[in-house]
Structure 1
Amino acid sequence: MTDSSLWQWQTWQEKPYLTCQLLASWPHGFFTQHFAPQTPETLVMALDPQAKVFRVKQVHGNTVLTPQEIAHEMHQGDSEAILPGADGVLSDQARQAVWVASADCTPALIGDVTTGQVAAVHAGWRGTAQRILPVTVQRFLTNGSQLADLRVALGPAISGEVYQVHRQVALAVGKSTQDPGDADLAEDVYLAGLMTLAEPPLLPDTKPDHYRLDVRCINQLQLTNLGLKPEQLSIAPYCTYKNPDHFFSYRRTGAKNVQWSGIVSL
């Protein structure tokens, strides 16, 4: 759900970044373009100067790694400077700062109010089609978390009103929310059904064979289908494309710039 009251602007180095009240227990932030070209190794000072930074090379998939797994893959590689390919980082100890970069894709920060464990996830349309957030939640559950203890904040991303995609992209992403009982529905019927939901993740477009897609709403559907309650989840009320004063947007400019989002485990 989108509840603007859960989101607050904070300031560090006289520059703005966002926090979400659902994650108030953890040092965290969705940083804006004003912090570029700073990296998490610097930005962590705004959250917890003693925390160790972990990130990955984002590849638009659904792989989620722990810091231990990141270290293992880097050790196995030809050079320890090469980060492993993944799109999510899940803490496995206290005071670990996990980070993802995004422009129009959805940055998701997740915390467990009981264990203190956290995750940072990059959910573009490809990763969302591969259900990266449910994959991350399952890793929490495997580690002993309870679904009711999770809190999820979906940060600034491109909104459905302005994100035009081809029909095949809409279908690939939309089907990630599909109930097994709907498997036999015709494609057009299924896409039409997504447009009739109370918070539709899919909107019509004037261009033939195209739609407007809200990836954030697809992620929300995936999570609520898992059993998360609406009060466990919040979507930032900001679109990267429509807010050039605060956020980079690849769709708006074509430039490969990113803003960072991070959270520190307890």
Structure 2
Amino acid sequence: MHTWHWHSWNGLPYLSCSLLSRWPHGFFTQQFWPRSPTELVEVLQPTARVYRVTQVHGNRVVNTREMSPEVSSPDGQEILPSKPDADGLLTHEGDRAVWVCTADCSPVLIADPQTGQVAAIHAGWRGTAARIIPEAIAQMQAQGSSLPQLQVAIGPAIAGEVYQVQDDVAAQVCGTIVETDTPEQILSEVQQLPHPPVLADAEPGRVRLDVRRVIQLQLAQMGIARDAIAIAPYCTYQNPDRFFSYRREAQKKVQWSGIVSQ
């Protein structure tokens, strides 16, 4: 059983997962707002180059070799290179920090101890429906990763029991894990699964969707072992003292998650 640990940096809390203990990484809380990754990297590994993208709720994953790192000028101001539109970053070169931001969506950090590759993925319902996690893993495989080696930590996100969505949204997401055709059949089939990713809702035409559970099932279907997947036991919506939640507050504030390659 993987454990999640709270750490404190200058009195500010952030989270790590024992599964990724080999790599400097963190799932940061709202207390770090409005610090950016160029500042947050100091917590993980100050020498690492920082990379992030312009997130668009899609399934594009880019390699850091296609980008320029972010830096800070002597006066502490960020120097931001042009950032590609994407929702995932990966690297197989050492001492590079890849970052994503979330405020209910799932931050997913992936690491491969064999090749040294790491990835950071922003997986909302749209990205999950577009199979962004399998896309990232396919790119890692193309760079030499093997599925049995991969280790995946899914950070704090909105929990299924409080995430109300329309039936068709849930069907789009869950259609990635079953082969049934119609939305009605998709929802019926996934509700029969152990620990179903879809729960009933009192409002007609709506259900409760557990995106992190869908990601877990996608990974399992790819052949990722259950003990190589960890899901944080924290809900952004239900923990207002620690996390921003767009569903709860409708504010464009985020928390960052990052991992450093070795």
TM-score range, shorter chain: over 0.9
Taking the aligned partners of 1:187 and 1:262, their CA distance within structure 2 comes to 35
Distance in 2 separating the partners of 1:251 and 1:258: 12
Match of 1:201 among 182, 191, 197: 197
Q: Deviations over 1:168-199 (max 9, x none)?
A: 10111010112xxx345x43232022112211
Partner residue, 1:126: 126
- Mapped contact 2:180–2:186 kept (Cα < 8 A): no
> Are the structure 2 counterparts of residues 81 and 95 from structure 1 closer, same or farther at C-alpha, using a change threshold of 3 Å?
closer
Aligned equivalents of 1:151 and 1:108: distance in 2?
A: 10
Identity among equivalent pairs (%): 52
Q: In structure 1, what is the Cα distance between the partners aligned to 2:183 and 2:122?
A: 27
Aligned residue for 1:137, secondary structure, equals: helix
Which residue matches 1:54? Answer: 51
The counterpart of 1:41, out of the listed 38, 41, 48, is 38
Q: Structure 1, residues 9-64: CA drift from partner, whole Å, max 9, x if none?
A: 11111111000000000000000000000000000001000000000000000001
Verify: 1:67 aligned to 2:64, yes or no.
yes
Paired letter, 1:234: A
SS in 2 for 1:176: coil
Residues 218-246 of structure 1 show CA distances to partners (whole Å, capped at 9, x for unaligned) of 11110000000100001000000000010
Q: 1 or 2, which has the higher helix percentage? A: 1
How far apart are the structure 2 equivalents of 1:104 and 1:6? 21
Name stretches of at least 5 consecutive residues in structure 1 with no aligned partner. 73-79
Structure 2 residue 53 is the aligned partner of structure 1 residue 30: no
1:243 corresponding residue in structure 2: 239
Rounded Cα–Cα distance in structure 1 between residues aligned with 2:176 and 2:125: 10
Equivalent-residue separation in structure 1 for 2:244 and 2:28 (angstroms): 11
What SS does the corresponding residue of 2:176 show, helix, strand or coil? helix
> Pairwise CA RMSD of aligned residues?
1.5
1:212 lines up with 2:208 in the alignment: yes
Range that drifts further, 39-48 or 81-90: 81-90
Q: Could you tell me whether the CA contact under 8 Å between 2:92 and 2:116 is conserved in 1?
A: no
Instruction: Map residues 1-266 of structure 1 onto 2, 5 A cutoff.
Output: 6-71=3-68, 81-178=81-178, 182-184=179-181, 186-266=182-262
- How far apart in 2 are the matches of 1:187 and 1:232? 31
1: CA distance between counterparts of 2:81 and 2:38? 14
2 CA distance for matches of 1:247 and 1:9?
A: 14
Number of residue equivalences: 253
Q: Counterpart amino acid of 1:37?
A: P
Alpha-carbon offset, residue 71 of structure 1: 3.6
User: What residue identity is the alignment partner of 2:83?
Assistant: L
Structure 2: distance between partners of 1:61 and 1:13: 35
Q: 1:176 is aligned with what amino acid? A: T
Which residue identity is paired with 1:235?
I
1:81 shift after superposition: 3.5
State the SS of the aligned residue for 1:126.
helix
Q: Which runs of 5+ in 2 are unaligned?
A: 70-79
Query: What SS is found at the alignment partner of 1:135?
Result: helix
Question: Structure 2 length as normaliser, TM-score?
Answer: 0.93
Structure 1 CA distance for aligned equivalents of residues 225 and 195 of structure 2? 15
* Pairwise CA distance, 1:67: 1.1
Output the amino acid matched with 1:89.
Answer: L
2:76: which partner in 1? none
Q: Secondary structure at the match of 1:211?
A: strand
**TM-score for both structures, normalised by structure 1:** 0.92
